[in-house]
Amino acid sequence: MKTLVALWTCCALTMGPALGARAAEAPPFDLTGTWAVMQVTSDLVVYPFVGQRTRTTTLVLLAQMEQRGWEVLVRETHCLADIDDGTGLVITEITEAFLRSLGVVERVATLERAGGEVRFVLPWGTAVHGARLADPEGEPLPISPEDPRVFDQDGDGKPGITVPVRILGLISGEVYAVQRLTKYLTGTVVSPDLIRGLIRWTNEQVVVGASNPFLKADAQAEVDPIPERSYFVALRVSPGTTCADLKGTWRSLFGR
């Protein structure tokens, strides 16, 4: 297992296949509307001075879905991220500035019959954060803040993505990183108002700088996902629901 300072699993993916495929039989429901989506990803990490822990990242999104036959156009806004580092000795944050920088992300899901169920499938997609790559899927991530591919994604004057970190209450500072994230979501449409399933994902990260030298140890790493603890739940919510609404209600909404 690789050692990782305090980075995370997050957010946007590239758009899936173009709308166009049609099935002769119409689905038995219409998912068009406003949805709250909770994505939970868990992984094993090794923190400096603390050791191995299980980290859980919860991402809450507001999604507008538009169903067209057996395909669903999904427009996502990233509302909040909550990190449980598996220990009170480590505190990691995902900043509001980073979430805002993602904007509205469009993806395409497909609906598939599987026995008596209808499956909701969001194909593999790749997102690179903190760097602009000509080949997002295959090009090596930059390892230096001077690499021209690195850019200040969250607009704070620092290279890449800024991650505030605190360890043992004594070591604190910021990590500056770039990240390549892939995700694949597959679940069951339980009802026209509820979808739930599992997330398969990978996350490659490079620390290109840090405000504290203790936080730059093991600058390049791949995280170790825990598949059985990585899942998503999508709930239909009232039209007009905003991210501000979800920030105050997401725990009760999703039973957390």
Mean pLDDT for the stretch of residues 235-250: 96
Mean pLDDT for the stretch of residues 136-141: 95
Q: How much is the pLDDT for 213?
A: 84
Q: What is the DSSP string of 62-112?
A: EEEEEEETTEEEEEEEEEEEEEE-SSTTEEE---HHHHHHT-EEEEEEEEE
Q: How much is the pLDDT for 231?
A: 97
Q: How much is the pLDDT for 49?
A: 80
d(CA 55, CA 204): 16
Residues 6+ apart with CB under 8 A from 20: 71
The first and second tokens of residue 158, run together, are 């620092």
pLDDT tens per residue across span 74-121 = 999 999 999 999 999 999 999 999 999 999 999 999 999 988 899 999
Residue 19 DSSP one-character state: S
Q: What is the pLDDT confidence band of residue 188, given thresholds at 50, 70 and 90?
A: very high
